[in-house]
Amino acid sequence: MQAEKEQTPQEKTSTANTTTTPNVAKPGLDFKSLQFGWFVGHALVVLNTLIFAISNLVFHPLGFFYRLAYLGVIASYGIVLWNAYKPLTNKEPYFKLMLLDENCQYLIIGVFFLFSRRIAVTLIPFFIYSVFHVLDFVDTHLIPQLAPHQTKIQSHIQDIVNKHYDTAMMLVAKIEVCGVMTRLVLGLFVFRSSILSILVYGQFLRMRYFMSENTRKFLKELGTKIDKALTPPTAHPKIPPAVINAYATAKEKLTMGSKPAPATTAKKQL
């Protein structure tokens, strides 16, 4: 039996309320609704990430579009959280529940990267999520309302999503673990990232391990490969014993008590 595909954090929030966007479908298309604002936020992420990527390719990075993409991230995830937890209160159990929501964790890391030194690879996971959210909104809302006769376009969108969704979600996990964290660690040696950024993002990855099946799967595969290279009897003979011992100690501390817990997502939706 094929395993159930992993959803994006906002899709998990939506599934509990039988919709794939942060709103219940309404007659007509309300351009003033939070739902449309959510879509605009994701569209900003897609558009500005593409512009920023192109500017990097021509060796003239336009940081304005990088920041604007993160404003789209904050808007889209903020709308989901506002709708799910309104009215906001400072009650401790309520606040803890919101902090454990994956959308809140992505919002926090988005705010952190917005005000940190520009690191292009950090946008890629948000870009991938936003592409699928934009495609979903176009398929389920824009086309039915603005061009209901364009059923072929809807079918094409659905085919793209069905074909590439699982691969894209696993790619997100790989980029979050290897792409972003590796860049942060290497950047520390050339003074282009800080210890704070590694600690903050490390905590984010820790929560992703608990809540994302794809992240757990990739980390276990990666851990198996590293174990093979750094633990006897399969350890590479050229690796110093001190490195092998340090790895064993670090692994013991990092894995102590780390058992995956079920993800907590918002229970309400627009």
In a domain, 262, yes or no: no
- Across 248-258, average pLDDT: 68
User: Would residue 270 count as lying in a domain?
Assistant: no
Q: What's the angle, vertex CA 194, arms to CA 188 and CA 195, rounded to 5?
A: 95
Looking at residues 199-215, what average pLDDT do you find?
Answer: 94
Specify if 264 maps to a domain.
no
> Is the predicted pLDDT of residue 28 greater than 90, yes or no?
no
Classify residue 130: in a domain, yes or no: yes
**Residue that wins the pLDDT comparison between 184 and 252:** 184
Q: How confident is the model at residue 254 (pLDDT cuts 50, 70, 90)?
A: low
* Within-domain flag for 59: yes
**Amino acid 1: pLDDT:** 40
- How far apart are alpha carbons 14 and 8 in whole angstroms? 10
| Cα-based angle 128, 45, 76 (whole degrees, multiple of 5) | 95
Tell me what the pLDDT averaged over the chain comes to.
Answer: 84
pLDDT of residue 256: 59
- For the cut 60, the answer to whether the pLDDT of residue 8 exceeds it is yes
What local confidence, expressed as pLDDT, does residue 147 receive? 86
Share of the chain above pLDDT 70, in %: 84
Tell me if residue 79 falls in helix, strand or coil: helix
Query: Cis omega (within 30 of 0) on the bond before 233?
Result: yes
> Is the backbone peptide bond immediately before 87 cis, with ω within 30 degrees of 0?
yes
Residue bearing the bigger pLDDT, 137 or 248: 137
In a domain, 62, yes or no: yes
Write out the H or E segment, with its range, that includes residue 214: helix 213-230
Q: Residue 25: is its pLDDT beyond 60? A: no
The predicted structure's pLDDT at residue 7: 66
pLDDT of residue 101: 92
> Which pLDDT score is estimated for 2?
41
Q: What is the dihedral of CA 169, 175, 216, 268, to 10 degrees?
A: -50
Range in 27-36, 140-149, 154-163 the model is least confident about: 27-36
Residue 70 half-sphere exposure toward CB, CA atoms < 13 A: 22
Q: What is the pLDDT of residues 109-156, one digit of tens each?
A: 999 999 999 999 999 999 999 999 999 999 999 999 888 888 899 999
Is residue 262 over pLDDT 80?
Answer: no
Mean pLDDT check: name the lowest of 89-98, 109-118, 139-148, 258-267: 258-267
Range of the domain at 124: 9-255
The pLDDT, as a whole number, for residue 237 is: 78
Element (H, E) at 27: none
CA-based nearest residue to 83, from 54, 49, 41: 41
The Cα–Cα gap between 137 and 30 comes to 13
Q: Give me 236's structure tokens.
A: 């590479």
pLDDT at residue 73, as a whole number: 98
Q: In a 10 Å sphere around its CB, with 0-12 CB exposed, 13-18 middle and 19+ buried, how is residue 123 labelled?
A: buried
Residue 79 lies in a domain: yes
Stretch among 81-95, 173-187, 189-203, 204-218 having the lowest mean pLDDT: 81-95
The number of folded domains in the chain is 1
Q: For residue 264, give the DSSP letter.
A: B
Where is pLDDT greater, at 68 or 59? 68
263 within a domain of the structure (yes/no) = no
Q: Is the backbone of residue 229 left (phi > 0), alpha (psi -120 to 50) or beta? A: alpha
For residue 85, what are the CA distances in angstroms to 12, 13, 99, 101? 15, 12, 11, 10
pLDDT score, position 255: 64
Percent of the chain past pLDDT 90, that is, above it, reads 55
Q: How many residues does the chain have?
A: 270
Nearest CA-CA partner of 73 in 100, 41, 101? 41
Check residue 18 and give its pLDDT: 38
